[in-house]
Amino acid sequence: MPINCTAQHVLKANPDVSGKGVLIAFVATAYLILFFCASSYLLCDSVAIPTRIDKMFLDSLWRPANGRGGSVTHSRHPSLTEKSLNEIVLAFSDQQIVTGIAILISGFVQIEKGLSTHHWANIVNLAWFSSVSHLTTLTMLRKYLQKKKRLWRLIGMALMLVMLACGMGSLGYYYKAAHPAWCLFRPNDWKKELMTPPYYNSIYVGCALTVIGLGYVARVILLYPSTSDSIKKKLEKYRIGIDGYLVSQHARIPKSARPIPVLWRIYYKICCSFYVLAVLAIDLYSSMLWEITWLGFTLVWGTVRLFRERNFIQQTNDTNVGWDENIWGFGQVLPIVLLALPFASAYEAMNADFYDEDDKNDSPSSTPPRTSPQAFTVLNPLDECSFDLYSTPWFSKVVILQYGLSLTVLCDAIYFFSYDLGTWDLTYQPGIIVADYAIWLSINFGIVWVFTLVCADSDLHILWFNSSLGRRLSQGFSCIAAWTIPIVLLIGASVAYVIQMYTNPSLICVVWKNWYRCPAKTS
């Protein structure tokens, strides 16, 4: 029987898709993966391949534990911690592939049976949890999967991504909860009969597909050492070439004070600051620290979308739908119970290895302390960019500033593209929303660039330490003074964003009042 896309439909309960047990199982599994990935990153040396940002972060994290840097594993069998974490993460990873594909297949099967767009959106959001969780486990188990069979996991993930992309593409239309999901795949059959055109949220769909697509491609490359190593060598080659160019340009700077040399120095300092930012971006965004941060961001994104959809239905007049979906039946209890399977398999593996290791060696063992990849010596500020940036006392502060502002950008993205603006204002006013976000993104980048230029420039350092304020702050309060600037900038950027968000409908409309579709000013 054909589905009428223009008639009024009544929303019916579907606890197999939107029940409490199903939602708790998917969400809890995703956040448990985040917890165990973070534990593996902090406790296990060989779970992933750390970058210099990771080594710097772990060294600063574990330094208070033993006084000089490094961490001490207090377990008698430290390898068992790594073994058990690997088993848990691997079990959850395989579980996410199966459950993600299963729920998407069930959704596609029910579409022709009149599945509502509300429940179809829940299916896509739950599959989102499965996909991003599995992508992160591929990163955390990179060294493990390079030695094991990985082809079937990549094929399963690719299959789930294709189905997820089709589902995300269909959710671009602004829809009613009871609207049949079948109509979203055939908009030409019903949009001509509507009085208003069916607006399509292309920006939200594009952002979601970009996050998933780029994440999958990056993880596949990292799982193959030959491909990832060749890319790293090319990037390092370009980096060395730029470094050599900056050194040669610095050697050409005359020592006189004529106007032309002054302009040349300014040009060189700007190039050097952008070089530092490029090195920082490559190292930070390829680190395991950012991988875990990115997983947290994507999980929050999915959580906001999932529970926003559910709360909208709970607040409607049809209370029977929410009541029926909150009943704890077999389909709700089973997913909760299945959460114990990964822990059981990890316990068995850990218990077997525990007795095997006791037979081989009865003496206590301890892991060597974490050591920094290099000594962090304090150097005077230099103009040359050829020195090791990680050895400078100011580079860690630039890293913290960039990481903090990146978190701010991610939080803004959740508000702009995932919460209310992600389904309504972004659909009707895409140019305004994107322009607002681009402006704030440029402001964040400008803050990092100015702070980098100030930190890396020896002339500004000399001017600062020769001033009376600089000398006073340097005597006994150098550490506090060094951290004051990035903290003030972080707080200032956040406060400015909040003020703008609650005082003006759009920053771009304040600057250009005649912008197309800007909301009218109310008196």
Residue 226 CA, distance from chain mean position = 26
Which of the pair, 256 or 173, is modelled with greater confidence?
173
Tell me the C-alpha distance between 323 and 332, whole Å. 14
Instruction: Assess whether pLDDT exceeds 50 at residue 381.
Output: no
Confidence class for position 274, pLDDT limits 50, 70, 90: confident
DSSP 189: G
Tell me the C-alpha distance between 49 and 288, whole Å. 8
Confidence class for position 379, pLDDT limits 50, 70, 90: very low
Q: Which two tokens stand for residue 390?
A: 């990680």
Least confident of 67-81, 250-264, 370-384, 495-509: 370-384
Instruction: Provide, for the chain, the percentages of residues in helix, strand and coil under a 3-state DSSP scheme, each rounded to the nearest 5.
Output: 75, 0, 25
0.85 surpassed by pTM: no
Average pLDDT over residues 394-415: 78
What pLDDT, on the 0 to 100 scale, is given for residue 193? 58
Tell me the C-alpha distance between 33 and 91, whole Å. 10
Tell me the C-alpha distance between 304 and 421, whole Å. 12
Instruction: Assess whether pLDDT exceeds 50 at residue 514.
Output: no
pLDDT digits (tens, 9 = 90+) for 59-99: 877 765 555 444 444 444 455 567 777 778 888 888 888 88
Q: Which two tokens stand for residue 201?
A: 């949220």
**Which residue ranges make up each domain of the chain?**
19-226+286-358, 394-523
Q: Which two tokens stand for residue 492?
A: 């200032």
Residue 321's H or E segment, with its range, is: helix 319-325
- Three-state helix/strand/coil letters over 39-100: HHHHHCCCCCCCCHHHHHHHHHHHHHHHCCCCCCCCCCCHHHHHHHHHHHHHHHHHHHHHHH
Other Cβ atoms closer than 10 A to 385:
22
Can you name the residues that pair with 18 across neighbouring β-strands? none
Task: Identify which of 420, 446, 451 has the alpha carbon closest to the alpha carbon of residue 433.
Answer: 420
DSSP 200: B
Largest CA distance in the chain: 86
Least confident of 135-144, 184-193, 331-340: 184-193
What pLDDT, on the 0 to 100 scale, is given for residue 105? 92
Residue 99 CA, distance from chain mean position = 22
Confidence class for position 243, pLDDT limits 50, 70, 90: low
How much of the chain, in percent, has pLDDT values that exceed 70? 54
Which of the pair, 287 or 247, is modelled with greater confidence?
287
Instruction: Assess whether pLDDT exceeds 60 at residue 301.
Output: yes
Taking the CA of residue 445 as centre, how many other CA atoms within 13 Å lie in the half-sphere pointing to its CB?
Answer: 10
Tell me the C-alpha distance between 93 and 393, whole Å. 40
Which of the pair, 165 or 70, is modelled with greater confidence?
165
